[in-house]
Amino acid sequence: MTAVEPAIGVDIGGTKVAAALVEADGTVLDSAEVPTPSAADQVAEAVADLVARLSADHAQIAPRATVGVGAAGFVDVDRSTVTFAPNIAWRDEPLGRRLAQLTGRSVVVENDANAAAWGEFRFGAGSDIDDMVLVTVGTGVGGGIVHRGELVRGGFGAAGEIGHLRVVRDGRPCGCGRRGCFEQYASGSALVAAARERLADGGPGTTALARAADDSGVTGPMITTLAQGGDPLAIDLLAELGRWLGEGCADLVAVLDPRVIAVGGGVAAAGELLLQPVREAFEAHLPAAGHRRAAQIRLATLGQRAGLLGAADLGRRAPMTTRERAQ
């Protein structure tokens, strides 16, 4: 039986570019990272340098390793072109083709949340089922959908943009150009905004948060730490965020009917302080509650590794017809 060669997974973020050499079972053999270049046209070169570094260090076991790339933004159905990226000035960027030319390897590009969803499906919170949705809660809200063991990419490659479901008519403005999007109420940014509003009002219970925010300002991890220490205001802020998430998950179930909804991203570090109100709101707003089998709400298990593992596995599995290949 032929051994399955490791693949290289890459996660392009707004602050860093990370890469890892990953076995078929999800074991990370090696990893490296660099700060994300400020110039958009230098990002591909940074990725190629990381791929070259990992390849040189493991030339005996990964001579032809494919490269899977997760990038924030819209990735066309060709799994090569980034049509729009929110944090990097890419518009119709032929990222896959450029990387194939720079690295001499087969390359597959995927939306970063899709890559994370696939990582959780293959190696994490969804590894025991075949239908799941990952909801990532960070600066915004992202998502990825797996149905019957396949990643759902949509007709044009842009499925899974959960954060841009409209939940409030004429609500808060969103960076996508609309108002009232889910991520304006259920993201880490929304959590911080709500905390700042409470501090500005100076209501009861703000003392601990004000003291913690004195030097560096309010952050999501700060709120989580205070909540884990029993601070009532921080617990209430997380609960409010959880209620928004739970209602949104109920809407997702009405359309997608997954077996599992995994909640990941930075805010998920709050654990049950977040998941308990998510589950309560989910059950309260689930259509036909009590008359249907409903998704389990689980905590994602892979953390920041989800995107790397998922990208590597997607790169390895993609048919040659959807890979960019070196000329």
pLDDT (0 to 100) of residue 1: 40
Amino acid at 146: V
pLDDT (0 to 100) of residue 3: 61
pLDDT (0 to 100) of residue 327: 57
pLDDT (0 to 100) of residue 2: 47
pLDDT (0 to 100) of residue 4: 77
pLDDT (0 to 100) of residue 186: 95
* Fold agreement (7-116+305-322, 128-299): yes
pLDDT (0 to 100) of residue 216: 72
Rounded distance between C-alpha atoms, residue 47 and residue 69, angstroms: 9
HSE-CB for 136 with a 13 A CA cutoff = 27
Q: What is the mean pLDDT of each run of 10 residues along the chain (327 residues)?
A: 79 93 96 94 96 90 88 91 88 95 94 96 96 93 95 92 92 91 94 92 80 81 93 95 96 94 93 96 92 93 95 89 69
Which superfamily, per CATH, for 128-299? Answer: ATPase, nucleotide binding domain (3.30.420.40)
What residue segments make up the domains of the chain, in order of their start? 7-116+305-322, 128-299
pLDDT (0 to 100) of residue 272: 95
Measured CA to CA in angstroms, residue 213 lies from 2, 65, 221 at distances of 56, 46, 11
Place of tokens 């689930």: 286
CATH architecture of 7-116+305-322: 2-Layer Sandwich (3.30)
pLDDT (0 to 100) of residue 308: 96
Rounded distance between C-alpha atoms, residue 29 and residue 75, angstroms: 28
- The reported pTM is 0.92
